[in-house]
Amino acid sequence: MMSFLVVHRVSHTYFTEKTAIPALDNVSLSIEKGEFVSFLGPSGCGKTTLLSIIASLLRPTEGTVTLEGEKIQSMHPSVGYMLQQDYLFPWKTIEENILLGLTIMGIDTQETRQQALELLNRIGLKGTEQHYPNQLSGGMRQRAALVRTMATNPKILLLDEPFSALDYQTKLKLEELVWQTLKDFGKTALLVTHDIGEAIAMSDRIFLFSAKPGRLVRTFLVPSELRQLSPFHARQHPAFSDLFQFLWKELDSLEPNQ
């Protein structure tokens, strides 16, 4: 039985006129359906590159990515991508923004439209449909961006440091909301972060990357008592700080020149 998402011996190199910069070196991993995993590592470890490859925004120099046994080549409707900032289109209303994916894919039917608007209500943004993004706070905007990503009903969500631009309180609340929403819908999710606490609080498994070039160093299974808890409660659990200390040391040992 093949895993839900398989990354097989993927390497990627960026070329410039002067040099070739290896970003990813021979990365292989697999993710099961319904799992929430995190890519953790210092900056420059190729996390975002790998995410772009899985989203097929970028073609890897070597290796393959398969989703449910199918090779990902051109842009896949089963992959949803969420960026560091919301990137809601300022000239569109919230409603137009969240329906954007449906319009682009040409699946803008009464039913899918209804589902998107229901999701908007559910996530606590009822009544903002006709607002423009600049009328909303940072947290609300990122929530709207989540609705936009989920509206097309992707099988896997790629979250590229989606909470990094928010203040701490908003970030904690949003972690909770995103985690709950994804669990309710049984979505597989892949979070890129450099925040150890966030990785532990949210995920089932953590992939640790080293930098220059990006290599997968180790995989950690988050203890089951933490996995069952929501991010906010997981942060209170005694096992949280143990794992935090452990990962801290691991990351520290990866830092070059020290």
Is residue 79 a contact residue for another protein (CB under 8 A)?
Answer: yes
Q: Which of 37, 67, 100, 226 contacts another protein by CB under 8 A?
A: 100
Is residue 101 a contact residue for another protein (CB under 8 A)?
Answer: yes
Q: Select from 84-92, 111-119, 203-211, 220-228 the region that touches another protein (CB under 8 A).
A: 84-92
Q: Which amino acid is at 126?
A: K
Determine how β-strand 205-210 pairs with β-strand 188-193: unpaired
x-or-dash pattern for another protein, window 132-171, by CB under 8 A?
x-x-------------xx--x-------------------
Q: Do the beta carbons of residue 84 and residue 51 sit within 8 Å?
A: no
Q: Which of 19, 43, 74, 110 contacts another protein by CB under 8 A?
A: 74
Structure tokens at 255: 């830092």
- Cα–Cα distances (Å) from 34 to 3, 37, 42, 104, in that order, read 11, 10, 26, 26
Q: Give the residue among 31, 47, 24 at the shortest CA–CA distance from 203.
A: 31
Nearer of residues 74 and 258 to another protein, judged by Cβ? 74
Is residue 87 a contact residue for another protein (CB under 8 A)?
Answer: yes
Is residue 14 a contact residue for another protein (CB under 8 A)?
Answer: no
Strands, E assignment, the chain: 5-15, 20-31, 36-40, 62-67, 70-71, 79-82, 156-160, 188-193, 205-210, 215-221
Nearer of residues 25 and 160 to another protein, judged by Cβ? 160
Q: Which amino acid is at 90?
A: P
Q: In angstroms, what is the minimal distance from the CB of 39 to another protein? A: 17
Residues lying near another protein in the complex (CB under 8 A) are found at 55, 57, 74-77, 79-81, 83, 85, 87, 89-91, 100-101, 104-105, 132, 134, 148-149, 152
